[in-house]
Amino acid sequence: MIRNRIRLLMVMDSLAVGGTETYVLSLVKAFPALGVMPVYAGGTGVMYEAFARAGCPIHRVDLAAEQLMDPEHQLQAEAALTQIMRSRKINLVHIHQLPSGLHAAKAARKLGIPVVFTVHGSYYPPEQLQLLKDAACTFISVSPPVRGYLDYLGIPSYLIANGIDFERYRPASSAALRASLRIPDGDKIVVYASRLAWDKAAVCAMLVRAARTLRLHGKLPLQLVIAGTGNQAAAIAELAEAVNQECHAPFVHPVGNQMQIGDYYNLGDLVVGTGRVALEAMACGKPVLAIGNHGYFGLVDRPVYDEAWQYYFGDHNSKERPTEQLIAEAIRGALASDGNLVSIGRQGQEWARANFDIQSKALQMKQLYGSLLAST
């Protein structure tokens, strides 16, 4: 019944392209069928149209971290969020980032609305997490290492993994994209997808240099496609240009942010990534070499599925620090057998579908929302 529907406010810094934003979009699409009616509040970005097409009402509120350093802007943001919660008759608020989430939680608390905070990594400052705990927020961890981090801080959490939309991420032909990038038919393609910032940009630089080594000394006909942007994107582009010139071939392709990232996963013989990227690539039937913010995990094959999940594919925990040599050896070994790669990709897709389908994760989330509202 309509009066039993959950009127949910999703709050994020912006609608930029990223794992958190993509995950929230997948929930926004899945929720209405479950009786959860989502509304978005926060900054805008290139994913605006995707949220609008999903039928999600969008309220623009400037929640950029640099703006929220100004006390007057904090008050304005909280007033705007309060007005949205009242006008939309919101009965539950879900936050994902800091410090924007702190101000959304403050506004919700004044109205007696429960707040859920999904912790997407272990990079959140402990003092800010403690403020949200003190505000009686309910915490969700996206991986076992994140739950361990919160446990260490004395903060209990529910473990609900990122869900993947298997209608959006699935095997498909990449012939047109391959032709547009002018990649020869016989060449192997490695795809790296990530924000080009922090440790992930450092991993990307190692990957570019490893690809150079494999091209020059390993005689491997390799192409590297880099999808993503960030504050280190210009440096990566300069490195790519230098390596291309040294090898006398345009084999490193920085392509920037891509809304249809599934097309690029399907282009690859091997995808290098972590966290949500790893799961999306596996949904497309692609083998994954897992390297993330925390460090190196390795090729995700059937014997190590559970271990890969426990490490969140190198994003929240890892086996060792990545190096150019380690990455080059892993790529050479993975690309040595086409048949083995196809098998790894197919098995990975089956495992990902069984454990990370967005419909089941949205239902878990809805059940948590319902329990919180029932106890309020």
Is 340 inside a domain boundary? yes
Tokens of 274: 């972590």
* 137 and 279 housed in the same domain: no
We report the CATH number of the domain holding residue 330 as 3.40.50.2000
Cα–Cα distance measured from residue 228 to residue 356, given in angstroms and rounded to the nearest whole number: 23
Q: Does 153 lie in the same domain as 6?
A: yes
Task: Specify the DSSP class assigned to residue 283.
Answer: H
Ranges of the chain whose pLDDT falls below 50: 1-2
In a domain, 331, yes or no: yes
- Residue pointed to by tokens 């403020």: 131
For residue range 77-118, list pLDDT tens digits in order: 999 999 999 999 999 999 999 999 999 999 999 999 999 999
Question: Mean pLDDT for the chain?
Answer: 96
Domain assignment present for residue 168? The answer is no
Question: Does residue 367 belong to any structural domain of this protein?
Answer: yes
H or E, element range at 10:
strand 6-12
What range does the domain containing 41 cover? 2-163+357-375
Q: Is residue 234 part of a domain?
A: yes
What pLDDT does 160 receive? 98
Nearest-angstrom CA–CA distance, 57 and 296 = 40
Do 140 and 255 share a structural domain?
Answer: no
Are residues 150 and 141 in contact, defined by beta-carbon separation less than 8 angstroms? yes
Taking the C-alpha atoms of residue 21 and residue 81, their distance in angstroms, rounded to an integer, is 19
C-alpha distances in Å from residue 207, one per residue of 236, 266, 327 = 10, 19, 7
For CA atoms 157, 15, 26, 229, the dihedral sign is negative
Same domain, 136 and 232: no
pLDDT reported for residue 45? 96
pLDDT score, position 1:
34
pLDDT digits (tens, 9 = 90+) for 311-367: 999 999 999 999 999 999 999 999 998 789 999 999 999 999 999 999 999 999 999
Residues shown for the chain: 376
The CA-based angle 222-312-349, given to 5 degrees, is 60
Q: Does residue 170 belong to any structural domain of this protein?
A: no
Q: Is residue 169 part of a domain?
A: no
Question: Are the C-beta atoms of residues 112 and 342 closer than 8 Å to each other?
Answer: no
Are 49 and 146 part of one and the same domain? Answer: yes
Q: What is the pLDDT of residue 32?
A: 97
Domain count across the chain: 2
Report yes or no on 65 lying in a domain.
yes
